[in-house]
Chain A
Amino acid sequence: MIMKLKHLTTVILSVGLLFMISCKSKPKDADIQAAVTTALQSSPGVSADVKDGVVTLSGSVASQADKDAAEAAVKLNQGVKSVVNNVTVAPPPPPPPAPVEVTADDALKTAVAGIVKDFPGIQADVKDGVIIITGEQKADRWKKLKMALDALKPKKVDASGLKVK
């Protein structure tokens, strides 16, 4: 009876010891998660998932350097076995459209005069990049004129004073 009890104690003790050892070598995922989350505070946009000591990073960052930094910050934590870096690097935003080029008034005036002289009945003025067209013109001729004027890169072609026949 005593022998049996002794045996049982040994068994309980060894099981307990084993449990403790396994606990020590394997920090709980929740603890890793907490540490990793703190480490990721400097990496906005990245989140971590921990399972059996394996940290999976997800989210989106602006550059490869940011992605690498997040992985490095996580790796340092105790209990992290490996890191699966699923963070995506977002493509840079498209460059803003090039501003509209407007020809300077002097150059525009010369060019407009050169074109308009072939369109009798049309008067043209240039002010602040805007070509102001007045007079009368047939529709197909006006179309030709408008095509030529638009090619001069004006700010606007104001034909509100034009009568199309």
Chain B
Amino acid sequence: MAALQDKYKELIDAAQAAGTSNLKVNELDGVLHIEGEAPTGAVKDQLWNIYGKIDPNFLTGDVVMNINVATAVAGAKLKVITESSNLNIRKGPGTDQPIVGKAAHNEIVSLISKQSDQWWLIRTDAGEEGYAYAQYLQPVE
């Protein structure tokens, strides 16, 4: 246990110092699981940068890091961070669900609620409402 925690000490220390809440650091079968809620998206980015510095290109596979952003609460403004394409808005939480709308790349939408860590219910300024993949949505600060 200690070896992995030592290797990623800078990352764990940074998560603690930045005020990550509900921080959980556990080891399971040679993989360090780091979970928590960062106060801002910038902190999440910082933690991922430190992780990438310790393990270039995240190729060792000895860490699973699941950091949410605390500012992503109902009513928050979210930016669509797809690479370039539109973001599908679906009727339900799942890629098998029909598409009911689209949000453009870099468009700002509102968070209504979180169905899960993966699927968030959002509303566009045009009034389209539905579920979208959380990984393409970043809280605007």
Contacts and interface: CB of A to CB of B under 8 A. Distances in A.
A146 interface: yes
Judged by DSSP, the binding face of B is mixed
Given A114-B95, A141-B83, A159 B26 contact: no
B94 interface: yes
A153 interface: yes
B95 A156 contact: no
B52 A148 contact: no
Given A148-B135, A156-B31, A97 B26 contact: yes
Given A153-B66, A155-B28, A115 B135 contact: yes
Contact of A98 (B26, B58, B94): B26
B59 A162 contact: yes
Contact of B135 (A151, A155, A158): A151
Given A144-B135, A151-B118, A156 B58 contact: no
B65 interface: yes
Interface in B15-44: 24-29, 31, 33
A110 B48 contact: no
B61 A156 contact: yes
B13 interface: no
Interface of A: 97-100, 102, 110-111, 113-115, 117-118, 139, 141-144, 146-148, 150-160, 162, 164
